[in-house]
């Protein structure tokens, strides 16, 4: 069994009230295990609001706070695995692991479990995180894309984390003279422009042309400023991909299936009416992107919400 270690948060940045980036230094005198881009590590905090299973109004399983005798949420340790968003070379050079995480909500609409505690971190006063001294996972390029020339990555929200690690590492290795012969396309969408983590860094990597990389950023809840910005796509990542491939929107598919099943389609139709129609960044054409997705030579890797693809 992997040994528990106590690390220290040395940097924290909030993209929004529910999205943050932080860096974790290893236990004093130690170092993190070597790892591959795309892998994960288990993190833990001892002061988390605990939840328990309950039954929702329609008989479904939901999670609510586990309350003490005074009606306050019980607190205790919670462990969760997080994809590492730093690249291996960054950890070798800087000693830290980096994470791009969202504040998760339970069914009551309130923060719960580990992420609630992570968002109260303060590098100066409350900076300790327990971690398992083992980094694992097969969500890596050598396991998922070894035989494919075209690699299409689709990240929704913090699903970008393993892809950010991969792209940064591929770029670093290209700069060291080991240029990949693969074509990488990254589609990333988040709710707002501010929540597009690693946006400027990914733009810089694309512009450097050290390897064949196309970055497709999109905002799923565009405000007037985003709508006026030709460098950003509009719509969810799944629908951006579907648009490129000439497929119907996910909400259109859901409505069609609901009608075919003869069920109540009102809720699905309402979701479709609110859907932001996919638009690519102006400098990218559907034709260019389709050429990068020739089926026999392409693997599509998703992270964030695979059921929504």
The whole-chain average pLDDT of the chain stands at 94
User: What confidence score (pLDDT) does residue 61 get?
Assistant: 87
pLDDT in tens, 171-218: 999 999 999 999 999 999 999 999 999 999 999 999 999 999 999 999
The answer to whether the CB of 165 falls within 8 A of the CB of 36 is no
| DSSP category for residue 148 | -
Beta pairing class for 183-190 and 150-156: parallel
**What is the three-class DSSP state of 7?**
strand
Residue 309 above 80 pLDDT?
no
Q: List all residues 6 or more positions away from 132 whose beta carbon is below 8 Å from its beta carbon.
A: 2, 3, 4, 5, 41, 42, 44, 79
Question: Residue 107 pLDDT > 80, yes or no?
Answer: no
**pLDDT, tens digit (0-9, with 9 covering 90-100), for 252-278:** 999 999 899 887 888 889 999 999 999
Average pLDDT over residues 77-96: 98
**pLDDT of 307:** 64
**For the domain with range 141-308, which CATH number is right: 3.65.10.10, 3.40.50.80, 1.10.580.10, 3.40.228.10?**
3.40.50.80
Q: How far apart are CA 144 and CA 246, in angstroms?
A: 24
Please name the residue ranges forming H helices in the chain: 88-94, 113-118, 141-144, 161-175, 199-208, 224-227, 237-244, 250-261, 266-274, 286-291
pTM for the full predicted model: 0.93
Homologous superfamily assigned to 4-136: Translation factors (2.40.30.10)
Question: Which residue in this structure is represented by tokens 């295990």?
Answer: 33
Q: Tell which residue, 92, 5, 87, has the closest CA to residue 42.
A: 5
What is the domain partition of the chain in residue ranges? Answer: 4-136, 141-308
Is 4-136's fold the same as 141-308's? no
Which letter, b or e, does each residue of 9-29 get, where b requires 16 or more Cβ atoms within 10 Å of its Cβ? beebeebeebbbbbbbbbbee
At 28-44, the pLDDT tens digits run 999 999 999 999 999 99
User: Which tokens belong to 102?
Assistant: 């969202």
């Amino acid at each position: 069994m992997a040994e528990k270690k106590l690390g220290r948060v040395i940097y924290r940045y909030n993209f929004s009230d529910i999205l943050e980036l932080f860096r974790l230094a290893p236990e004093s005198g130690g170092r993190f295990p070597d790892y591959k881009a795309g892998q994960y590590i288990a993190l833990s905090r001892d002061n988390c609001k605990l939840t328990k299973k309950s039954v929702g109004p329609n008989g479904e399983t939901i999670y609510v706070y586990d309350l003490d005798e005074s009606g306050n949420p019980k607190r205790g340790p919670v462990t969760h695995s997080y994809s590492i968003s730093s690249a291996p070379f960054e950890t070798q050079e800087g000693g830290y692991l980096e994470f791009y995480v969202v504040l998760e909500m339970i069914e009551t609409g309130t923060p719960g479990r580990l992420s609630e505690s992570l968002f109260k971190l303060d590098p100066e006063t409350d900076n300790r995180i327990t971690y398992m001294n083992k980094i694992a996972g097969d969500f890596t390029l050598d396991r998922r894309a070894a035989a494919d020339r075209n690699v299409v990555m689709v990240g929704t929200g913090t699903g970008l984390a393993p892809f950010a690690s991969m792209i940064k590492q591929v770029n670093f290795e290209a700069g060291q003279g080991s240029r990949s012969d693969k074509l990488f396309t990254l589609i990333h969408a988040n709710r707002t422009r501010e929540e597009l983590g690693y946006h400027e860094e990914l733009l810089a990597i694309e512009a450097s042309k050290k390897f064949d990389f196309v970055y497709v950023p999109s905002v799923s809840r565009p405000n007037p400023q985003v709508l006026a910005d030709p460098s950003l796509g509009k719509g969810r990542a799944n629908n951006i991909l579907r648009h490129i491939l000439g497929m119907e929107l996910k909400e259109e598919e859901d409505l069609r299936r609901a009608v075919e099943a003869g069920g109540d389609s009102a809720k699905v139709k309402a979701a479709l009416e609110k859907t932001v129609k996919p638009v690519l960044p102006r400098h990218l054409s559907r034709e260019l992107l389709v050429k990068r997705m020739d089926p026999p030579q392409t693997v599509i890797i998703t992270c964030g919400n695979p059921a929504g693809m």
